[in-house]
Amino acid sequence: MKWKVYTITTTVDAEDYVCAALTELGFDSVEIIDSVPLTKEEEKAQFIDIPPVLPEGDTTSRIRCYEETSEASDRTEEILSAIREYEDIVDLGELTVETSVTEDLDWINNWKQYFHSFRIGEDIVIKPTWESDADVKDGDLVVEIDPGTAFGTGSHETTWLCIEGLKERVKQDSAVLDVGCGSGILTIIAKKLGASYCVGVDIDPVAVEVSKENAAQNDLFVAIADKPEIIPGAVSFFAGDVISDAAFANDVTLQRYDVVVANILADIIMPLAPVVKQFLSEDGVFLCSGILNTREAEVRASLEKDGYEVIGAKHRNDWVSLAARVRR
């Protein structure tokens, strides 16, 4: 199936009016492209570390709408006529419409052509489930991953830093908690490194289901339970927010963990740290990653304020991972 794409060039002030006109014409959804900066509240809500650099004073807006059709008729004049109904109310700018055609592509799966197996350190290989020719040597720890629509192939610097931290700190019979498990990659690696009991939690139920599938793909025993419980030898995954949901956090606290790992962002790590204290065993370590090097000092200070001692740091390009222990 092909889609006809209409790109309307107008002004930022006219966006709502243009969208209203398109809705009246039967277009179900629109895409708005402009240079309006996010507010501080929007940046905070979306956990954005690096706001986009936008041109100053640009009031141009481009609005796209799509029409599913095999033999698309041209509705340019109809669209222009509907929008011009508002020309006495708002500045419509140049008001032009460009048309193009796009294929109905499989956006969910097309990215797979760019994800290939790779090696972390000397003996860990991350391999997509659909790849059969990965370079695997005897003694390698192999993790098969299909992220699906969850976050995490393992290739990002922050994940590398977490994996290096897990290799150093996970021992036989360790209990490990992965907060923000995404595709489950860190939980799976912790289990393969010898951890006795591993739990992954994520606010996204889709990520939790993807994590379960990936763990099963790696021949791990995936526990089936409504909430965290102690099942030696198992990995388990649960949907919930340990920061805002005290009842869920209390369920997670049923087990104390030797390692709590969080590969998220600085703006989540800082409010998460006080909650993590209740999850840690007496000598447990909090491994946190996803921190830009420009925010390392800020996160360190926040951890220390919350009663942690930073006992290690790893750097990779622009990213930092910190290891911290609760001061006794």
Give 117-144 pLDDT, tens digit per residue.
777 777 788 877 777 766 777 877 788 8
CB 319 within 8 A of CB 292: yes
> Within 10 Å of residue 37's Cβ, how many Cβ atoms?
13
Least-confidence region, from 6-20, 26-40, 83-97, 101-115: 101-115
Supply the pLDDT for residue 257: 94
pLDDT tens string 170-204: 998 899 999 999 889 999 999 999 998 899 999 98
pLDDT confidence bin for 58, thresholds 50/70/90:
confident
**Can you tell me the distance from the alpha carbon of 45 to that of 265, in angstroms, rounded to the nearest whole number?**
12
Question: What would the mean pLDDT of 201-216 be, rounded to a whole number?
Answer: 91
Ramachandran bin of 219, using left for φ above 0, alpha for ψ from -120 to 50, beta for the remaining angles: left
DSSP conformational letter for 227 = S
**Can you tell me the distance from the alpha carbon of 211 to that of 202, in angstroms, rounded to the nearest whole number?**
10
Which alpha helices (DSSP H) does 120-265 contain, by range?
Answer: 157-169, 185-192, 205-217, 246-252
Which residues are 235's β-sheet partners?
198, 222
Distance, C-alpha 320 to centroid of its chain = 17
Supply the pLDDT for residue 170: 94
Amino acid letter, 153: T
Domains belonging to the chain, first-starting first, are 2-104 (3.30.70.120), 110-326 (3.40.50.150)
Token pair, residue 178, equals: 């992965």
**Whole-number percent of the chain with pLDDT over 70:** 81
Helix (H) or strand (E) holding 287: strand 280-292
**Can you tell me the distance from the alpha carbon of 263 to that of 179, in angstroms, rounded to the nearest whole number?**
8
**Terminal-to-terminal C-alpha distance of the chain:** 63
**Can you tell me the distance from the alpha carbon of 27 to that of 65, in angstroms, rounded to the nearest whole number?**
7
CB 29 within 8 A of CB 23: no
Above 70 in pLDDT, residue 102?
A: yes
**Rg of the Cα trace of the chain?**
24
pLDDT tens string 244-253: 999 999 988 8
**Can you tell me the distance from the alpha carbon of 307 to that of 326, in angstroms, rounded to the nearest whole number?**
6
Question: What would the mean pLDDT of 213-232 be, rounded to a whole number?
Answer: 81
Calculate the average pLDDT of the chain.
Answer: 84
**Can you tell me the distance from the alpha carbon of 250 to that of 228, in angstroms, rounded to the nearest whole number?**
10
**Can you tell me the distance from the alpha carbon of 243 to that of 265, in angstroms, rounded to the nearest whole number?**
14
**Can you tell me the distance from the alpha carbon of 94 to that of 117, in angstroms, rounded to the nearest whole number?**
49
Above 60 in pLDDT, residue 46?
A: no
Q: Which residue has the higher pLDDT, 129 or 270?
A: 270
What's this model's pTM, rounded to 2 decimal places?
0.69
Supply the pLDDT for residue 37: 53
Place of tokens 């995404």: 182
**Can you tell me the distance from the alpha carbon of 143 to that of 124, in angstroms, rounded to the nearest whole number?**
8
CB 287 within 8 A of CB 325: no
Among 42-46, 63-67, 68-72, 107-111, the range of highest mean pLDDT: 63-67
**Can you tell me the distance from the alpha carbon of 175 to that of 195, in angstroms, rounded to the nearest whole number?**
6
Place of tokens 């760019």: 114
